[in-house]
């Protein structure tokens, strides 16, 4: 198209009008020329009016796999409501995604969607061909959705991602520490602590001698061990405690302390302590000839005038943590082995506002007490208590009736969600490595809240982490 303009220049005012006319007409000419060159359906810079306005999915199916008591896996299916999956539409970067990932095991290979857009909309197959958004769509990888203006001249592409958890949150991932030189065959009983960025294991050999093994937390394959010095009498390594970064343990010759768990010195040779029980904030508790007694300096012990129904032989673990309903009140709990052979361990609890200890006993004919197992270990992990160990001590008839099978050492992890009242085998959440099943050697375990480490008497060292964290 050609336009000719003719002006007769009479005076300066006419010249000015000519310049204004040319300045207004030239951009119009350029726009007309550009438009006339566009072919139908050609994509150019997107128009601000072209946009994806809403995105949602229809219901999905999720498969869950859990381990049954007999060690086999069982699978069941649940439905994920599409209405509960919220999507973010990032108009600046042209992204659509769900910030909260959908549960592990959800099938996203055939997904139906509801979308609205300012313009026509389709999605692009992997080969780039457009397809209807009413089809089922494979979201195992991001999918491109294209919004096109109704005159097909403008378009905008959006990358749509349907995020799904890539690890099973109900599983515990275990790995062996390759090349670990943990002292093989040294300990017949052992107990682990994390102190000063070290893993410290205290234990006795088959002659009753006390030994210590330690390794930096940064390298749990590099272990050093030494026989302890400065201790007289038979040591109870299982009831050793860590109080303000100092180790304490009892022997039949008195109470001893150590800052490195190797060189020990006597605190009180005349102390009538049968065993240490728990640490409540900065206060230690022990079993004495006068029953439960507390101390702030590990030297002077004050009895509260309370005796247990059954004598306590060894305290294997203790924990202090705030109540969920009131952080100013602390609960202290310890798990102990009774002096008389029993199928259940003892669980004792008290609040910081209380004077006396209360024994947590299963009610009536309840088989769900804390099991008394050889080399029993109890940890607090993910805000719950977990107990595991070797062979059952005593006749565990109720136990086997309750679970319908004979117990195999280290095959089951017992979980307590109610502060030690009931203990049941875990069907999901934190669980033991299947490689541990049937083992009989001594072991110890410790946790920093994220990982759980297990040190075996045969020299193996393992670390585990529950994906649910």
* Domains of the chain and CATH, by start: 51-161 (2.60.40.2340), 172-466 (2.120.10.80)
Least confident of 18-27, 228-237, 241-250, 380-389: 18-27
Instruction: Tell me the pLDDT band of 405, cut-offs 50, 70 and 90.
Output: low
Instruction: Please determine, for residue 39, whether its predicted confidence score (pLDDT) is greater than 50.
Output: no
CB proximity list for 151: less than 8 A, separation 6 or greater: none
| CB-based contact 460:176 (threshold 8 Å) | yes
Q: What pLDDT score does 118 carry?
A: 94
Return the closest-CA partner of residue 148 out of 114, 115, 113, 118: 118
Q: d(Cα 192, Cα 1) in Å, to the nearest integer?
A: 90
pLDDT tens digits along 312-368:
888 999 999 999 899 999 999 999 988 877 788 999 999 999 999 999 876 555 678
Strand partners of residue 292: 287
Separation between Cα atoms, residue 316 and residue 242, nearest integer Å: 12
Burial class (CB in 10 A: 0-12, 13-18, 19+), 464: buried
Report pLDDT for 398. 58
φ and ψ of 342, to 5 deg: -145, 155
Burial of 396-429, coded b for 16+ CB within 10 Å and e otherwise, reads bebbeeebeeebebbbbbbbbeebbbbbebbebb
Report the distance separating Cα 161 and Cα 142, nearest Å: 5
Please state, for a pLDDT cut of 70, what percent of the chain lies above it: 83
76 band by pLDDT with thresholds 50, 70 and 90: confident
- Count the alpha carbons within 13 Å of 73 in the hemisphere toward its beta carbon: 8
Q: In which band, very low, low, confident or very high, does the pLDDT at 6 lie, cut at 50, 70 and 90?
A: very low
- Within 8 A by CB and 6+ apart from 68, the residues are 74, 427
- Per-state percent for the chain, helix, strand, coil, to nearest 5: 10, 40, 50
Query: What's the length of the chain?
Result: 469
CB-CB neighbours of 434 under 10 Å: 11
Task: Give every strand in the sheet of 224-227, ordered side by side.
Answer: 189-195, 198-204, 210-216, 224-227
Give the bridge partners for 210, in sequence order.
204
pTM above 0.75, yes or no: no
Structural contact between residues 99 and 88, judged by C-beta atoms closer than 8 angstroms = yes
pLDDT-derived band at 171 (thresholds 50, 70, 90) equals: confident
Is 146 a residue whose pLDDT tops 90? yes
- Mean pLDDT across 28-42: 35
Quick check: 459 and 95 in contact, CB under 8 A? no
Residue with the larger pLDDT of the pair 385 and 18: 385
Q: Evaluate if residue 95 carries a pLDDT over 60.
A: yes
- Indicate if the pLDDT at residue 32 is higher than 70: no
CB atoms within 10 A of CB 220: 19
pLDDT at 72: 61
Q: Write down the number of H helices and E strands in the chain.
A: 2, 34
């Amino acid at each position: 198209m050609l336009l000719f303009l003719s002006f007769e220049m009479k005076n300066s005012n006419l010249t000015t009008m000519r310049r204004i006319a040319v300045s207004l007409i030239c951009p119009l000419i350029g726009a007309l020329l550009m438009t006339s060159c566009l072919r139908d359906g050609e994509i150019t810079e997107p128009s601000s009016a072209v946009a994806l306005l809403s995105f949602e999915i229809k219901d999905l199916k999720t498969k869950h796999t859990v381990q049954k008591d007999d060690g086999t896996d069982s699978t069941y299916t649940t439905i994920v409501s599409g209405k509960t999956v919220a999507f973010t539409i990032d108009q600046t970067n042209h992204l659509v995604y769900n910030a909260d990932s959908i549960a592990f095991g959800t099938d996203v290979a055939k997904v139906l969607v509801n979308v609205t857009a300012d313009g026509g909309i389709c999605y692009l197959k992997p080969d780039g061909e457009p397809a209807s958004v009413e089809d089922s769509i494979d979201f195992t990888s991001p999918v491109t959705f294209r919004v096109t203006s109704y005159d097909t001249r403008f378009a905008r592409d959006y990358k749509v991602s349907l995020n799904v958890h890539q690890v099973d949150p109900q599983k515990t991932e275990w790995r062996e520490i390759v090349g670990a030189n943990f002292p093989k065959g040294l300990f017949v009983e052992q107990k682990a602590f994390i102190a000063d960025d070290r893993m410290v294991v205290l234990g006795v050999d088959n002659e009753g001698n006390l030994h210590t093994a330690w390794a930096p937390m940064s390298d749990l394959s590099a272990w050093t061990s030494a026989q302890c010095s400065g201790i007289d009498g038979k040591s109870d390594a299982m009831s050793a405690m860590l109080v303000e970064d100092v180790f304490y343990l009892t022997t039949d010759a008195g109470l001893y302390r150590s800052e490195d768990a190797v060189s020990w010195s006597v605190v009180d040779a005349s102390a009538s302590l049968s065993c240490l029980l728990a640490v409540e904030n900065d206060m230690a508790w022990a079993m004495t000839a006068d029953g439960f007694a507390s101390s702030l300096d590990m030297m002077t012990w004050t009895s509260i005038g309370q005796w247990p129904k059954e004598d306590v032989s060894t305290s294997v673990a203790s924990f202090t943590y705030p109540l969920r309903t009131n952080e100013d009140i602390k609960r202290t709990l310890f798990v102990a082995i009774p002096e008389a052979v029993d199928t259940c361990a003892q669980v004792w609890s008290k609040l910081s506002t209380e004077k006396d200890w209360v024994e947590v006993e299963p009610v009536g004919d309840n088989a769900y007490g804390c099991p008394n197992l050889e080399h029993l270990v109890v940890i607090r992990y993910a805000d719950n208590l977990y107990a595991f160990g070797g062979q059952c001590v005593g006749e565990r008839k109720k136990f086997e009736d309750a679970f319908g099978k004979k117990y195999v050492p280290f095959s089951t992890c017992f979980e307590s969600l109610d502060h030690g009242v009931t203990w049941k085998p875990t069907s999901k959440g934190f669980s033991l490595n299947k490689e541990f099943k049937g083992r009989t050697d001594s072991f110890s375990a410790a946790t920093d809240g994220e990982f759980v480490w297990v040190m075996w008497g045969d020299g193996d060292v393992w670390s585990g982490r529950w994906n649910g964290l």
